[in-house]
Amino acid sequence: MSQEIVLKNARLVLEKEIVNGSILFRDGKIAAIDSGAAATGEDCEGDYVVPGLVELHTDHLEAHYSPRPGVRWDSIAALQAHDAQVVASGITTVFDCLRLGSDEDGGFQKGEMRAIADAIEVAVAEDRLRASHLIHLRCEVSAADVLDQYEDFKTDGFVRLASLMDHAPGQRQFQTLEQYALYYKTKRGLDDAAFERFMAKRVAASQKYSAGHRKTIVEACSERGIALASHDDATVEHVEESIAFGVKLAEFPTSMEAARASHEAGISVMMGAPNIVRGKSHSGNIAARELAEAGVLDVLSSDYVPFSLMQAPFILADGPEGRPLNETIKLVTTAPARTVGLTDRGRIAPGLRGDVVRVRHTKGVPVVRSVWREGRRVA
């Protein structure tokens, strides 16, 4: 027997417009959208109803699994805590980042990321989770053991995205030694001599491993249809390499030059929603608002603050540029879904999954009031 749910008296944020009306779910999918008043259904009291948010890059699960240095939490419990927070933020599809490649900066041991992936798959099978969870492999190509760790995932169907990272000094995110010293020397409390040794080791590892590891991972992912992301592109040369590799997503480009080149090449440009909320990058690179104003920002990610993914589109809509909410909400719904080939979600349209969020917003910080995933209320 068909199950039907109606939400009425809502401001429906559609792909091209915002309309007052109602939405009908039938058997987990959007069956109809109607403008005007509906006689029956749950009254949304004039709140917005937006598509469920799609999160492509968050290492927030890692913070639940390892809440303190050297501490490891039960993986299922960590996952459920993470899941509860992302759903409460309006995220109905989340790509959980798993870090591959160990280094001195707190890397995980071989097998730990595989164990977390196993926990995700068990939790999905046991219907423990409210959001849809997929896996994003963050591959540190300068790490000696990244390919060894990738072997643990070579047949995992949950893996739908892999990013190619190199955090060595003089590379990508840290083009200048001043940036690198500020981030690592201060963070690790190193004196000048210790910092020089640390930096030399990272440079040598990048020179030895990065090119070969990057090529191997690209080939492996391309064979399996896994979407590829570049990370911290800084130059046109970086973007040209991404084009050659078939990259779909440019994560956190560090310059306008790289962002514009990626956008013009059809590669989705992603920046952090916390960057929008704070008004600047935490690592001193280009601000996301600059890319938005230039028309080269395509996707937002919550990165390290889940709720920022809901907050940022409203900030952009309320800002001096005054972009329509149906345009800014695409940064966290339609665009990320399309970038990784999820054609069944990211919009409010008949035939798509019933993933929607009821949001109240008059001024300031929006309030997530209810969340549905596949027509089922999950928050």
- Residue pair 267/245 in contact (Cβ under 8 Å)? The answer is no
Alpha-carbon separation of residue 57 from 146, 150, 187, 350, 357 (angstroms)? 19, 18, 23, 28, 20
- Is 10 inside any structural domain? no
Is the model's pLDDT at 126 over the cut of 80? yes
pLDDT for the residue 366: 98
- Name the band, by pLDDT with cuts 50, 70 and 90, for residue 198: confident
Domain count across the chain: 1
**pLDDT at position 172:** 56
Q: Is residue 355 part of a domain?
A: no
Residue 38 lies in a domain: no
Structure tokens at 211: 């090119």
Residue 319: domain span:
51-343
**Is the model's pLDDT at 110 over the cut of 60?**
yes
Q: What is the pLDDT of residues 43-72, one digit of tens each?
A: 999 999 999 999 999 989 999 999 998 899
The sheet carrying 132-140 orders its strands as: 53-58, 91-100, 132-140, 159-165, 227-231, 249-251, 268-272, 299-301
Domain assignment present for residue 131? The answer is yes
Whether residue 82 lies inside any domain: the answer is yes
Q: Is residue 23 part of a domain?
A: no
Q: Which of 59, 57, 49 is nearest to 21 (CA)?
A: 49
Identify whether 27 is part of a domain.
no
**Section 250-279 average pLDDT:** 95
Rounded percentage of the chain residues whose pLDDT exceeds 90:
77
pTM reported for the whole predicted model:
0.92
Sequence-distant (≥ 6) Cβ neighbours of residue 186 within 8 angstroms: none
Please state, rounded to an integer, the average pLDDT across all residues of the chain. 91
The position carrying tokens 């969340």 is 371
Q: Measured at the alpha carbon of residue 164, what is the angle toward residues 160 and 168, in degrees to the nearest 5?
A: 155
Output the pLDDT for position 180. 62
254 in Cβ contact with 173 (< 8 Å): yes
Give just the sign of the alpha carbon dihedral 198, 256, 282, 215.
negative
pLDDT of residue 284: 58
Tell me the C-alpha to C-alpha distance, in Å, between residue 53 and each of 125, 138, 222, 347, 359.
Answer: 22, 21, 26, 10, 12
6 in a domain, yes or no?
A: no
pLDDT tens profile 130-157:
999 999 999 999 999 999 999 999 999 9
Range of weakest confidence among 140-154, 159-173, 265-279: 159-173
The CATH number of residue 234's host domain is 3.20.20.140
